Every structure is written in C-alpha cells, then in structure tokens.
Structure 1
C-alpha cells in the first residue's frame, strides 16, 4: 500500500487546574439544538439534549447541581445505527447501578454494550446494517465529561477561548493508524481498510474486516476529556463533521459568542451555526448542539490597557511636520 500522510493527534487529557477544581461555581444549564439535511439526499444525523438527565429517567439526583446529557450521532450507510444509539446509549448510562460515580467506566461500558446490542439487532434484521459516530457530553455537578468515538467534535468556550474537548478520530491520525494496524487493519488513501473515513464508530458490523467479537480495526471505545467548570466557562458547542468542515474551533466559538450576546438563546445559536455552515457550502448533513452554563449572555471582553505610553519626541514631531509640509507643497 502507498504510504499515507500521518496527522499528529492530541492525547486524551483532563482540563483541571488547581483553582478550577476548588471552584464553587455551579452551572445553570440551558441548551438548544438544530439539524439540517444540507445538500445531501437524506438525513442521517441525530442529536439528544437532556438538561435534567436523572429526573427525565425518574431517578433522584444524587449530586449537587445539574445532571445532564447531550449527544450528537452522525450516521453513515443509513440512519438506523444513529437512531438505535440515540435510543439505547443514554439508557445504558443512566441505568448503571453505579451512576453517576466512576463515570468514564460507565460510559465506556455503555458505548460497547450499545455496539453489541446493535450487532444483535442487525443479525435479526439485515436491513438495519449501518454505522454512526457518537459524541456524548455529561454535566454532573461541576464536572463536564465528553466521550467521543468518531469525528464529531465538542468545543468549550472559556472566556472567549476555544478549548477542544474531543479529538477527531480520522484513520490518518498517527495514534489511530498505529491502533488500526495493530488490530489487523490498514489505512489506504485516508480510509480505514480503504472503506471508511473514520477510525472509531458504533455499528458497521456488516463491513468485512472491520469488527469482530474479539476486536478489530474499527473501535467503538470512546476517548474522554473532562474538566471542572468555573465561572469563566460560557458554553459548549457540539457538532457533526459537517459543521467543522467549514468552521475552525475558535471561529465557531467567536461566531456563537457574538450570537449569544445578541439574543442569549442556545436554540437560536445552534440554528445560526447550521445556517452559517450552509452559507459556507458545507456538503454534509449538519447538526449542532449549544449548551450554555450561565443564565446571562457572554460578557464583553475588555482588553487590558497597555502600561507603556508611547509618544513622539520633539525631533520626531518636527520631522513629521516637515514631511506633511512637503506634501502640501
């Protein structure tokens, strides 16, 4: 196979400075979402927005502050996998006996259980055969936990600065390429086994050489990033790759921040993002979720005034005046 251009990938990590972890800030959640088929002939994206995750499922909130679940699923080869995961993944998470403690273990288990459950469903009904990426965010008290399998992306706005809370799982990413090859797969022309342009997904059991009960090059296991939310954290954007095809992370944050300053409505903001992606000619389905962590709109950021005072010298002023006089003549 010809050699592929490798792309370095940032490792999974936890964003938690000492002062952040000691914060007594509790987020007040508001969320909204928007989806559009775009220029595609069918719609394969699905999203979830649940600001009161435990209450919606008839459970008592065991933690101080909110308990919320948000997700974006970008289907391929049909919508069945995205619909299936949208329905089953939240249930596997919330009905784990240990929820909400040990959240990363619970969510990892839920991703893999959902993947196996979909395999069983496809074995009964072959028309369901398809796959989907999965990006999920949970807010438990002050903790924000993002789990990702695929190329959807979550970006946190912290006082106007974009902080990526997931990394895109592309086959050309060096870490993913090594994992794929160690699992018996290969990357050809940027595609996993020459067929799929993502390195992680739920489903796709029908694609030969991708998955087996013992593993395979296409993984459904999510990667995690987490942080303790503080008063500087303003909102989170979650979007399918159709959004990020035409927005850089900081660009999306700047755009959304301006819109929230105008109307302070996360639903309108998500629609603004989708509409702008359409204007920028994104060629994919479009889905965006915006989660605000505060009731008030993002504040105007005032740049600190420079302490260095610059001035012209008397000689410089004379030279400038001489130059201006020469122009007049």
Structure 2
C-alpha cells in the first residue's frame, strides 16, 4: 500500500512526569504509516546553572526517515542552551563573582532576548551540524523534521515552531495562543521559496515537500549565494514569548500534524479539558486523543505532549458520573444491536458505529471528540459479544444466545 500499512499499528509509547510546578504526559503511535518517524523531548528541570526551574518539551515530526527527528530529540536542547548562555555562561552581571561577604551568588537565568536569540541560533547550529553526517551529506538519507516546542521559565512561555506541528495554550477555558504552521502557500514562505529559485505547486515546495521550514531536508538547502534562512526550506524557528498567568493558564498541547489534520485547536482543547475532568492520568488522556484521531481518520504518525499547569482542569464527580452513564448507555445499545441480528446476520463494527451516530437518544458526547472518542468503549463491548458469531459448519451464523 505504498507508504501505508494494511492495518494500523496501535501500540503506544507513553511517558509522564511531574516537577517545577507542572505535570506532563505523552503518547505516540505509528498508526497507518510504514515507519514511526516522530520523536519527542520532555525535560523537567534543566541541568544548567540558573535554569534548574526551567523545563522543555518538544515534538518532532520526521519525514523521509527518522534520523533527523531522533537526533534533534536528543540534542536540540543542548544547542539552544549553549547558544542562549553564550560564552559567558549565565547572564547576571554578578554571576560567577564573589560578593563582599566572600559568597558566590546564585547564577542568574538568561534574559528573555538572549533566550530568543539562543533558540534561533541553536536551530541553525544543529541544522548545520547534522549536514556533516555522512549519510545526510551524500544523499543516502534525505530525512527532515519539523519541530515544535515550549521552553518554560518561572515567568515566561517560549513557544518555538519550525514546520507544521503545532503548540496551543489553553487559558481561561479558551484557546489563548497557537503557533503558526509553516506551509509553502503562506505568502511569506512562498516569497522566500521563489526568491531561492523554487516554486510552490500543489501546495508543496517544488511540488514535493509539504512544509516550508524544517530541520534536515538538505536537498532543499543547496542554493548558491543564499544563506541558511534564505533557502527553499528554512531551519529558522519562529519564537513567541508570553508572560505566564498562573491563575489563568491551564495546559499546553504540543502535537504533530497527524493530530491537527483531524482536530481543530478548539476541538482538541475542549476534548482534553473534558477528559481531564474525568481522569487525572495524563498518559491515559493522551492515549484517548491519539485513539480518537485514529478513529477520526488520521493516516499519519501521531504524537502529543500534554503539559498541565497548576490551574489546569481537575477531576469532577459530576463529570465522572456523566461519563460512566454515557459508557453504560453505549454498552447497552451495542448489546441490543447484537441481540437482534438482521437478515444478513450480526452487524459489523462499522454498521454499529453508523447506527449509533443517528441515535437521537444519545447522552452528550465528549466535546471535540464526538462518537469517535468512544469507539474504544464500543469496540470493547462488541468484541466481548461477537465471539457468538461463529459458523456451524453449514456456513450460517449461529444465533447469539439471548
């Protein structure tokens, strides 16, 4: 099937952690793709003087291979930190010198502008560094990767984006901020591509690559006389700085386009909020997002990192009760459908889902997720009951024993 499998690989990679006043969970799934090309980074507390109360999270969506995404997941942060601190280490004017009392003051964190500049420089440096890798240099490996991340200081969010993965901030129960996707058809991106001698066809760089900024992709970065940020594909990130609002900030989501292809910013945030009100296991919430996107039709690798802030949604007894009632209703309806097989025998799962989608008595479904978010519940009941669909030797289905 070309770049796709006959059936999706639904095993998930999970991780979670807590520290520096935040909790995170993540989930990634290969899905229908023949290879898992996504990668991620999650670091609570940077091992850098003056930045131990900072954290960093990122998602990398690789294409044409996983080499660039995997390398960046391990080394991009160190390039950013080194570039942010510069040769002088931490930024305070007193850093590293003794006070009048003979004590060495605590290192100061880098200034906001130094961090912004360091992020940009870190991206350019790692991109140039990877170009020296033999298989990337000689064209044996043509992989590239988007990168979306967030660097959290005690006072600021540094949103980082290069490509079409995306980060959103949920504040005051609404989407407060979203990074901007770097697509070839965007006027600014198209202008750079054309100035470098390229073209945008079928919304792709030279009719081939679907993103206009990425790390790697060196086939698109060899125009003579043009600097690294002037090439057909640029490794330059956009950096957005926001002051944190502890009483209002609820959570941040980082995800690859395998998620965003089938869910809008608002739908995903509302769905995550509804799940956080029934479950405080962030890995489970992320798994529900990935499963829901698969059932909504995503054909890509899928990765999501959910960072919950101190004022994030909390489990509600009422929400838990309503979710349990919905699950019970769905279980009962599936049992009813399988207890009354039609002329063609028992319905398949697609027919069951179709019938449920027209059920006027359905209790409210999770916002943003809809019936797709409950497919796992429906399939669990279906698979528990469907073993009764057996053949008796004559080729006819055996009737369910109800």
TM-score (norm 1): 0.76
1:110-169 deviations in Å (ceiling 9; x for gaps)? 100111011111456643431111112100112001111100000111121013331111
The one of 40, 44, 55 equivalent to 2:37 is 44
| Number of residue-to-residue matches in the alignment | 269
CA RMSD of aligned residues (A): 2.3
Q: Does 1:103 align with 2:78?
A: no
1:131-142, aligned counterparts within 5 Å?
A: 131-142=144-155
CA distance in 1, matches of 2:115, 2:196: 27
Partner of 1:263, secondary structure, is coil
Does the CA contact (< 8 Å) of 2:65 and 2:143 recur in 1? Answer: yes
CA distance in 1, matches of 2:314, 2:278: 10
Partner of 2:283, secondary structure, is helix
CA distance in 2, matches of 1:254, 1:275: 16
The one of 253, 273, 279 equivalent to 2:295 is 279
CA distance in 2, matches of 1:93, 1:105: 9
1:276-306 deviations in Å (ceiling 9; x for gaps)? 1111110100000000111763488xxxxxx
CA distance in 1, matches of 2:225, 2:284: 42
The one of 265, 275, 296 equivalent to 2:281 is 265
Higher relative contact order (CA 8 A, sep 6+): 1
Mark the runs of 5 or more structure 2 residues left unpaired by the alignment: 1-19, 91-109, 317-402
Distance 1:299 1:224, change over 3 A: farther
CA distance in 2, matches of 1:213, 1:117: 18
CA distance in 1, matches of 2:308, 2:65: 31
1:200-211, aligned counterparts within 5 Å?
A: 200-207=213-220
The one of 221, 226, 231 equivalent to 1:216 is 231
Partner of 2:209, secondary structure, is coil
TM-score (norm 2): 0.63
Q: Does 1:86 align with 2:73?
A: yes
1:197-237 deviations in Å (ceiling 9; x for gaps)? 00100101135767987341210000122211111110001
The one of 217, 231, 241 equivalent to 1:226 is 241
Partner of 1:95, secondary structure, is helix
CA distance in 1, matches of 2:283, 2:149: 18
CA distance in 1, matches of 2:144, 2:51: 34
Mark the runs of 5 or more structure 1 residues left unpaired by the alignment: 1-26, 301-329
Q: Segments of 4+ in structure 1 off by > 6 A?
A: 210-213
Partner residue of 1:180?
193
Does the CA contact (< 8 Å) of 2:42 and 2:56 recur in 1? Answer: yes
Partner residue of 2:24?
31
